[in-house]
Amino acid sequence: MSACAVFVTVLADRPNQTKTMNYKTSFKSLLLAAGCSLGLAVSGFASDDPVVAATPTSTVNASSHGVLGQNVANLGFSYVDIKNSSVNAYAMNLTLNQAIQTGIDTLFEYNYLRSDDTGIGRITEHKVNFGGRAYTNYQGFKPFVDGGIGWVWERAPLGLSDNSFLLFASVGAEFQATPDLTITPSVRYWYATKSSVGDVWEYSVKANYWLTEKLALTAKLGVDDDQTMEYGLGLNYRF
């Protein structure tokens, strides 16, 4: 969300507001190191362990609820409200969550964002992420940590463009509110190796409501540290 906000600011000829990045912040470093180590460890475990490779769905409980510990595909659509701008954006999200062992999932995430017409064209962004997630279950309360790597492609009018390697890490918890409804608040930190893309903190709350054994309705409310808001709806399919 933040990259689109930066491009909108440039195209609108507003003063450049560069975020101060503190690379020495120990919490950021610890969160990224833990999250990325987790993502690499989970990916390696999934590919190298012959038992897991042979029985990828053996730990999935079809009667359980929520997303953690499930084989789930999500397709979502979002409206992105960029603060202090008349130009906003729309996003499409595809997420795959694969349970490989009790307490361990792998992640794939793809995001496509397209802005309103700025008057001279539109801003687009593609983002692809791979990672892993570890969680534990306390009678319907599932705290988790995840992390991984990614790449972002950004394009804007006037020949503006940017690409960057990404690292991300998240912490959160999934709460079972009713037998069919779960609520998941989380915080994610994005670190872009290219400083012009910038780092981002994202805060979100997601809801998942199972309509049938296989199909669920999802909703998302998110905000980043630029106060750009995201409102989303989607569907989860359990496979």
Residue pair 176/140 in contact (Cβ under 8 Å)? The answer is yes
Q: What is the pLDDT of residue 46?
A: 47
Q: Classify 110 in phi/psi space as left (phi over 0), alpha (psi -120 to 50) or beta.
A: beta
Rounded-to-integer distance, Cα 40 and Cα 23, Å? 22
Q: Which residue has the tokens 């990916």?
A: 43
Q: Indicate if the pLDDT at residue 53 is higher than 50.
A: no
Rounded-to-integer distance, Cα 183 and Cα 7, Å? 33
> Which pLDDT band, with edges at 50, 70 and 90, does 84 fall under?
confident
Q: Indicate if the pLDDT at residue 22 is higher than 80.
A: no
Residue pair 124/4 in contact (Cβ under 8 Å)? The answer is no
Mean pLDDT of 15-44: 46
Residue pair 215/236 in contact (Cβ under 8 Å)? The answer is yes
Q: Indicate if the pLDDT at residue 157 is higher than 80.
A: yes
Class of domain 2-57+67-238: mainly beta
Domain segments of the chain as ranges: 2-57+67-238
Rounded-to-integer distance, Cα 68 and Cα 104, Å? 9
Phi and psi dihedrals of 89, rounded to 5?
Answer: -150, 165
Q: What is the pLDDT of residue 238?
A: 96
Mean pLDDT of 5-28: 44
Following DSSP, what letter does each residue of 29-88 receive, concatenated? HHHHHHHHHHHHHHHHHHHH-HHHHH-TTTT--TT--SSTTS-EEEEEEEEEE-TT-S--
Q: What is the pLDDT of residue 166?
A: 96
Rounded-to-integer distance, Cα 76 and Cα 233, Å? 6
Which percentage of the chain shows pLDDT scores above 90? Answer: 63
Q: What is the pLDDT of residue 94?
A: 98
Q: Of the given ranges (9-23, 82-96, 187-201), which has the lowest mean pLDDT?
A: 9-23
Q: 86: which residues sit within 8 A by CB, 6+ positions away? A: none
- Residues 174, 203, 222, 115: is their CA dihedral positive or negative? negative
Q: What is the pLDDT of residue 31?
A: 53
Residue pair 232/76 in contact (Cβ under 8 Å)? The answer is yes
Q: What's the pTM value of the predicted model, to 2 decimals?
A: 0.76
Q: 17: which residues sit within 8 A by CB, 6+ positions away? A: 9
State how far the alpha carbon of 106 is from the alpha carbons of 6, 45, 212, 229, in Å. Answer: 31, 10, 24, 27
